[in-house]
Amino acid sequence: MLARVADPEWVGYDLPAAEGGPHPGWNRHLEDGVLDTVLEVVDPELGAVVARARYDEYFAGFAGPGVVVHYDGSSNDVGIYTLLRVALDGADAAGLP
């Protein structure tokens, strides 16, 4: 499961005005400073989270079983998508925070 959550270091700020778009002043560069991505692995038999990781980057979703899509829009508004394979090694639900 992928979810976007508030970055713990975000303190808030006024968004600059922008031309058009559904969210004036909002763009991917601002989003990276406001939101983190949380990746959780859920064991359907246990009905519990068995692994969790938090990233200060944008993961757009899943491209297939065990493959997530990372998006980097920091280079002159040209987005770069990268596929990353997720591997689960020795996870233990008891070790989660």
Own/partner long-range contacts of 51-59 (Cβ < 8 Å, ≥24 apart): 51/88, 51/91, 51/96, 52/96, 52/97, 54/5, 56/7, 56/32, 57/32, 58/28, 58/31, 58/32, 59/2
The HSE-up count of residue 67 (CA atoms within 13 Å, CB side) is: 6
pLDDT per residue as tens digits for the range 22-64: 555 555 556 666 788 999 888 889 999 988 889 888 888 999 9
Q: What is the pTM of this model?
A: 0.66
Q: CA-based Rg of the chain, rounded to a whole angstrom?
A: 16
Which of the four pLDDT bands, split at 50, 70 and 90, describes residue 78?
confident
